[in-house]
Amino acid sequence: QVTEIFHLQLTEAFSKLDLNTPQAKN
């Protein structure tokens, strides 16, 4: 399903944002 792929990309993008954002660890 296309939705699963889109969701996977979103999760990956957010995980990268969390790594690049120090505030996410607080």
pLDDT of residue 16: 85
pLDDT of residue 9: 94
Distance CA 22, CA 9 (A): 21
Beta-carbon contacts of residue 24 (< 8 Å; ≥ 6 apart): 17, 18
> What is the residue type of 26?
N
SS3 percent helix, strand, coil of the chain, rounded to 5, is 90, 0, 10
pLDDT of residue 5: 92
pLDDT of residue 6: 94
Distance CA 9, CA 16 (A): 11
**Tens digit of each residue's pLDDT (9 = 90 or more) over 1-26:** 789 999 999 999 988 877 766 665 55
pTM for the full predicted model: 0.49
